[in-house]
Amino acid sequence: MIDYFEKTIHTISNSISSVDAKKFEILLNTLEEKLNAGGKIIASGLGKNVPICEKFIGTLNSLGINAVFLNTHTALHGDLGVIKENDIVLLLTKSGNTEESILLANHLLERKAEIWLISFNRNSKLIKLLNHSIILDLESEGDGWDIIPNNSTSVYLILLQGLAMMLRDRMNISLKEFKNNHPAGSIGETLRELK
């Protein structure tokens, strides 16, 4: 049992270590610039990436950072209207070849939206289509078939939560601001005495 978890941690660690630090810094700078210009962060994904995107957006919202989730599929059925000037879209797709993701990317490009692909495929159709990307290595998903979205979604979550925590520092968000967004629950109770 322990062997499985140790192997998983090793795989995730190697994947995070494969991130191009310069590109990651450019992405972080761009997110900060877009927010300061009145734009918002949009995270888009399909399937098992949906709850990962929602967790990331929920963390940003709890910090008072303007962010929304855009389902890659429903975006093509009217939800494109959420995209405004100065927004930035983070498009999650493991393969970078998903039909819906490619179609969405093309529509976003027509709107001159800034798009960052976050993927695990260095030779995908989307990497050839888009100017900006964060591409990670992944040894395996950790299942016997190497197909279940498992390690890839864990890596996505760690990467996106890292972005959120770094933006918290960059945007100088105070604990009081965070408290104002948490009037209830255990966090609300913990912060209730904060002036």
Q: What is the mean pLDDT of the chain?
A: 95
Asked if residue 104 lies in contact with residue 45, where contact means CB atoms within 8 angstroms, the answer is: no
The predicted-structure confidence for 16-31, as pLDDT tens digits, reads as follows 999 999 999 999 999 9
What is the number of other CB atoms lying within 10 angstroms of the CB of residue 189? 11
26-40, 45-59, 136-150, 168-182: least confident range:
168-182
Query: What is the phi-psi region of residue 142: left when phi exceeds 0, alpha when psi lies from -120 to 50, beta otherwise?
Result: left
Asked if residue 89 lies in contact with residue 108, where contact means CB atoms within 8 angstroms, the answer is: yes
2-6, 82-86, 173-177: least confident range:
173-177
The predicted-structure confidence for 117-173, as pLDDT tens digits, reads as follows 999 999 999 999 999 999 999 999 999 999 999 999 999 999 999 999 999 999 999
Chain Cα centroid distance, residue 70:
11
Asked if residue 36 has pLDDT above 90, the reply is yes
CATH number belonging to the domain at 2-191, selected among 3.40.50.10490, 3.10.20.90, 3.40.50.10240, 1.10.357.10: 3.40.50.10490
For tokens 């070849």, name the residue.
Answer: 97
Question: Residue 195's pLDDT is what?
Answer: 62
Q: Which two tokens stand for residue 119?
A: 């993927």
Residue 132 has phi, psi (to 5 degrees) of -125, 135
Q: Is the pTM of this model over 0.75?
A: yes
Average pLDDT over residues 89-105: 97
Q: How confident is the model at residue 57 (pLDDT cuts 50, 70, 90)?
A: very high
